[in-house]
């Protein structure tokens, strides 16, 4: 594998590192819910039923409503300040509501209750008392709430209580006591108010006359007819100039920033085409495209003609002309930018002068208006005071002995027929909603806690590599058959998945033969030896000469699956001095054995507790390179990455890597970490083979549905 290709692959992998976790689809969430159904459902049912039971055991409460209507009194018989209790604003309406909700009103209601009514309020508690026990001393006043009916002068009072009759009594009593409190406030002081109003009206009339005279004298002295019009015109001009100035300033800053950027690029000898305003100026885009086309043409001509050939000379001349035109266009762009900057500076300066002039005029009018407004306000206040006091005097004399309260009960409260709580309908809806939320939360929450590899989404989006294929669970096959599925070609349901992996490896591989592929996994028992054996057989079946190497020097297994003696191989070759002379296929120390046509096996040659000495040696790397000259493909079966570091040492000497994961075994974060380590070593990770799924799991853990269709097409085969 070339260093340039490895470097390019590493850069691409690094670019994807920050964006490998994609969004889950609805199918992924369906898989999550289906897998954890029998964990989330019982828990959701227990919580939902528990909440429903707890809420249904709540003490039954009854609610009664009473409505209060507030009438607008006639102005002719109403004194707004003396005896007016009508509603003239939302503030007054809210004040009434707060008065009803006050502790003082609650005390009035409690004090107004008769002994018979108190007995009714105690009735629910007397039922719960043991025989002979004394009733409670405190009175249960229930829970009272007041609210105004929107867009009306209606106030609704609701009381909740354990007894329906008690709730109705309290709601009606609140209305009665509120009306009585208003009647108590409207009394006495009326005659004194009339006398005071008459005396005060005379004083205010004289104050209004003096204030108006001062205002007229000031207007004549300053030659003022309408100060408001002059102020509005000056303010409008100032606003328009200010808006124009801000726009001009922003435009100048934008052009100035572009010009500074151009100067910085020029001083640093950087490419001005990186600046959008230059790159898109006038004919520059067309000239650049033309220059690129001429460069391509010259490159093609250089392959066929010498430097002095007429076509080469014409191409160079055309390039020179276009380059000159492009340089001229760039200079024009820079000059145009500078001209725009100078124009923007001049415009901003002009607007600054105009703004200062308008601001000065505005300040002059403002200073002038201070004293004018003061005099005008004094005159207006004096007029209003006189007008109000005169109006109050008129109304007071008209309603001297009037004690009208514009508040009427509208609908009295009635005892409720049934309790409003516990509400079985609401409890049912709440419990069902809570159960659904718990079910979804537990199932999805466990999917984040359970980090084991399960689906195509885990591989392609979370880990960020290709899914090369899915190998079904082959537990029903003997060990002697699993590793020779492709060679024996008997089990069609087992052959097709490995041929699918073979096709994916070919598609995703960017290297031509000869090359070497490392097959590894995270932990032992994930099926890397199974995949490497049948992958090697798949390539051999398609006409490639393949060498399968058992590099798991600590626990070699391939010789057992192919009924070979593990006496010669890598360890014995290294101990013999690592000879590289001659044809390695005929080297008796290596002992490469032919398994079948186009397929050979290089065993480990024994066991080693510290194989890193062999794997780190230059001789091992030279051996792999020499084997690639004799075989189209070298497949290396290595130890798992999570157990020992041998696979990383081997990965430094191979071209591509195939990673094997067993369903529901290794953790995603570990796999992602090891994939990152392989990519950091500039290895081309072709993808992951997901192993050990039952056909039923394959149907809903991935989009690979060929197992069902395969069975329908071929029928049951042994």
CA distance 390 to 396: 10
| pLDDT at residue number 699 | 60
Query: What does the DSSP assignment read for 457-503?
Result: HIIIIII-S-EEEEEEP-TTS-HHHHTTHHHH---HHHHHHHHHHHH
**pTM tops 0.75, yes or no:** no
More confident residue, 284 or 698: 284
Q: At what angle do helices 103-112 and 164-185 cross, to 10 degrees?
A: 110
Helices (H), 102-146: 103-112, 115-128
CA distance 671 to 82: 85
Judged by phi (left if over 0) then psi (alpha if -120 to 50, else beta), residue 697 lies in alpha
| pLDDT at residue number 330 | 81
Closest CA to 157 of 77, 82, 222, 101: 101
| pLDDT at residue number 136 | 66
CA distance 110 to 605: 101
What is the arithmetic mean of pLDDT over 195-211?
70
Mean of pLDDT over the chain: 79
| pLDDT at residue number 536 | 94
Degrees to nearest 5, angle at CA 347 with 345 and 348: 65
| pLDDT at residue number 219 | 67
| pLDDT at residue number 711 | 47
What is the arithmetic mean of pLDDT over 472-493?
83
Q: Are 489 and 705 in contact (CB under 8 A)?
A: no
CA distance 652 to 309: 48
Helices (H), 157-281: 164-185, 190-222, 227-267, 276-279
What are the pLDDT digits (tens) for 88-133? 567 878 888 888 889 888 998 988 888 888 888 888 877 666 666 6
Q: At what angle do helices 3-16 and 668-680 cross, to 10 degrees?
A: 140
304, burial (CB in 10 Å: exposed 0-12, middle 13-18, buried 19+)? exposed
Q: At what angle do helices 284-304 and 310-398 cross, to 10 degrees?
A: 150
Q: Are 623 and 654 in contact (CB under 8 A)?
A: no
Of the ranges 5-19, 497-511, 592-606, which one carries the lowest mean pLDDT score? 5-19
Whether the predicted pLDDT of 603 surpasses 90: yes
| pLDDT at residue number 137 | 67
What is the arithmetic mean of pLDDT over 538-562?
92
Whether the predicted pLDDT of 4 surpasses 90: no
CA distance 340 to 245: 16
Whether the predicted pLDDT of 401 surpasses 70: no
| pLDDT at residue number 205 | 75
Whether the predicted pLDDT of 405 surpasses 90: no
| pLDDT at residue number 532 | 94
| pLDDT at residue number 357 | 81
pLDDT bracket for residue 698 (50, 70, 90)? low
What are the pLDDT digits (tens) for 441-468? 887 776 667 667 777 777 777 788 888 9
Which letter, b or e, does each residue of 270-285 get, where b requires 16 or more Cβ atoms within 10 Å of its Cβ?
eebeebebbeebeebe
pLDDT bracket for residue 223 (50, 70, 90)? low
Tokens describing residue 696: 């039923």
pLDDT bracket for residue 705 (50, 70, 90)? very low
Whether the predicted pLDDT of 78 surpasses 50: no
CA distance 421 to 60: 5
pLDDT bracket for residue 521 (50, 70, 90)? very high
| pLDDT at residue number 21 | 47
pLDDT bracket for residue 80 (50, 70, 90)? very low
Q: Are 29 and 445 in contact (CB under 8 A)?
A: no
Residue listed under structure tokens 């003082």: 104
Whether the predicted pLDDT of 331 surpasses 50: yes
More confident residue, 187 or 424: 424
What are the pLDDT digits (tens) for 483-494? 889 988 887 777
| pLDDT at residue number 189 | 43
Tokens describing residue 436: 């659904």
Q: What percent of the chain has pLDDT over 70?
A: 79
What are the pLDDT digits (tens) for 572-597? 999 988 888 888 888 888 989 999 99
Whether the predicted pLDDT of 422 surpasses 90: no
Whether the predicted pLDDT of 534 surpasses 90: yes
What are the pLDDT digits (tens) for 8-51? 444 444 444 444 445 566 766 666 677 667 778 888 898 989 98
pLDDT bracket for residue 253 (50, 70, 90)? confident
| H-helix or E-strand spanning residue 314 | helix 310-398
Kindly report the length of the chain. 718
Q: How far is CA 691 from CA 281, 350, 530, 531, 716, in A?
A: 58, 77, 10, 9, 22
| pLDDT at residue number 599 | 94
Q: At what angle do helices 310-398 and 190-222 cross, to 10 degrees?
A: 130
| pLDDT at residue number 283 | 81
Degrees to nearest 5, angle at CA 251 with 249 and 254: 110
Kindly list the structural domains of the chain, giving each domain's residue range(s) and its CATH number in brackets, ordered by start. 62-187+403-411 (3.30.70.1130), 227-398 (1.10.287), 456-714 (3.40.50.300)
Q: Are strands 407-411 and 467-472 parallel, antiparallel or unpaired?
A: unpaired
| pLDDT at residue number 628 | 92
Residue 330, Cβ neighbours under 10 Å: how many?
20
| Range ranked top by mean pLDDT from 43-57, 510-524, 676-690 | 510-524
pLDDT bracket for residue 316 (50, 70, 90)? confident
Whether the predicted pLDDT of 546 surpasses 90: yes
What are the pLDDT digits (tens) for 129-145? 666 666 666 778 888 89
Which letter, b or e, does each residue of 635-656 get, where b requires 16 or more Cβ atoms within 10 Å of its Cβ?
bbbbbbbbebebbbbbbebbbb
CA distance 369 to 363: 10
Closest CA to 710 of 496, 467, 424: 496
Whether the predicted pLDDT of 714 surpasses 90: no
| pLDDT at residue number 541 | 92
Whether the predicted pLDDT of 637 surpasses 90: yes
């Amino acid at each position: 594998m070339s260093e340039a290709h490895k470097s390019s692959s590493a850069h691409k992998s690094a670019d994807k590192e920050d964006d490998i976790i994609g969004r889950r689809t609805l199918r992924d969430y369906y898989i999550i819910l289906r897998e954890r159904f029998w964990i989330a459902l019982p828990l959701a049912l227990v919580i939902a039923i528990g909440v429903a039971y707890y809420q249904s055991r709540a003490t039954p409460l009854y609610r009664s409503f009473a409505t209060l209507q507030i009438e607008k009194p006639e102005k002719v018989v109403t004194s707004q300040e003396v005896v007016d209790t009508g509603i003239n604003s939302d503030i007054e309406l809210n004040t009434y509501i707060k008065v009803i909700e006050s502790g003082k009103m609650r005390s009035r209601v409690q004090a107004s209750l008769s002994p018979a009514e108190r007995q009714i309020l105690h009735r629910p508690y007397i039922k719960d008392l043991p025989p002979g026990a004394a009733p409670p001393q405190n009175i249960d006043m229930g829970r009272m709430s007041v609210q105004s009916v929107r867009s009306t002068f209606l106030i609704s009072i609701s009381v909740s209580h354990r007894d329906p009759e008690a709730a109705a009594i309290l709601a009606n009593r609140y209305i009665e006591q509120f009306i009585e409190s208003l009647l108590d406030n409207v009394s006495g002081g009326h005659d004194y108010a009339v006398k005071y109003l008459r005396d005060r009206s005379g004083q205010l009339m004289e104050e209004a006359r003096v204030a108006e005279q001062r205002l007229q004298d000031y207007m004549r002295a300053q030659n003022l007819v309408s100060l408001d019009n002059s102020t509005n015109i000056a303010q409008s001009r100032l606003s328009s100039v200010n808006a124009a100035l801000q726009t001009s300033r922003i435009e100048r800053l934008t052009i100035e920033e572009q010009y500074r950027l151009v100067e910085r690029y020029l001083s640093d000898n950087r490419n001005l085409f990186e600046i959008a305003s230059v790159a898109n100026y006038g004919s520059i885009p067309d000239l650049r495209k033309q220059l690129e086309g001429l460069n391509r043409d010259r490159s093609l001509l250089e392959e066929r003609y010498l430097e002095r050939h007429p076509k080469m000379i014409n191409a160079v001349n055309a390039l020179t002309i276009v380059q000159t035109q492009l340089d001229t266009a760039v200079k024009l762009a820079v000059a145009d930018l500078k001209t725009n900057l100078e124009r923007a500076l001049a415009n901003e300066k002009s607007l600054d002068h105009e703004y200062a002039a308008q601001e000065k005029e505005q300040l002059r009018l403002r200073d002038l208006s201070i004293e004018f407004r003061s005099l005008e306000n004094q005159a207006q206040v004096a007029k209003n005071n006189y007008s109000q006091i005169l109006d109050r005097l008129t109304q007071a004399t008209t309603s001297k002995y009037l004690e009208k309260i514009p508040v009427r009960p509208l609908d009295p409260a009635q005892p409720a027929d049934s309790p409003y709580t516990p509400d079985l309908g609401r409890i049912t809806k709440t419990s069902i909603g809570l159960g659904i939320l718990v079910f979804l939360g537990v199932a999805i929450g466990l999917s984040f806690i359970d980090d084991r590899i399960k689906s195509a989404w885990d591989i392609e989006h979370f880990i960020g590599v290709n899914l090369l294929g899915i190998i079904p669970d082959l537990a029903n096959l003997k060990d002697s058959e699993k590793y020779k599925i492709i060679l024996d070609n008997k089990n069609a349901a087992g052959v097709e998945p490995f041929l699918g992996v073979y096709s994916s490896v070919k598609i995703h591989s960017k290297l031509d033969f000869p090359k070497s592929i490392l097959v590894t996994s995270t932990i032992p028992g994930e099926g890397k030896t199974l995949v490497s054996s049948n992958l090697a057989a798949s390539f051999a079946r398609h006409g490639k000469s393949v060498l399968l190497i058992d590099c798991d020097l600590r626990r070699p297994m391939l010789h057992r699956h192919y009924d070979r003696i593990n006496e010669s191989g890598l360890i014995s070759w290294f101990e013999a001095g690592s000879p590289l002379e001659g044809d390695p296929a005929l080297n008796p120390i290596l002992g490469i054995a032919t398994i079948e046509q186009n397929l050979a096996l290089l065993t480990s040659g024994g066991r080693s507790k510290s194989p890193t000495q062999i794997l780190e040696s230059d001789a091992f790397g030279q051996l792999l390179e020499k084997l690639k000259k004799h075989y189209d493909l070298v497949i290396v079966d290595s130890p798992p990455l999570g157990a020992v570091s041998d696979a990383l040492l081997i990965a430094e000497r191979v071209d591509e890597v195939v990673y094997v994961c067993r369903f529901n075994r290794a953790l995603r974060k570990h796999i992602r970490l090891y994939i990152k380590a392989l990519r950091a070593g500039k290895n081309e990770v072709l993808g992951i083979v997901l192993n050990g799924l039952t056909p039923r799991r394959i149907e809903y853990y991935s989009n690979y549905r060929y197992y069902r269709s395969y069975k329908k097409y071929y029928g049951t085969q042994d």
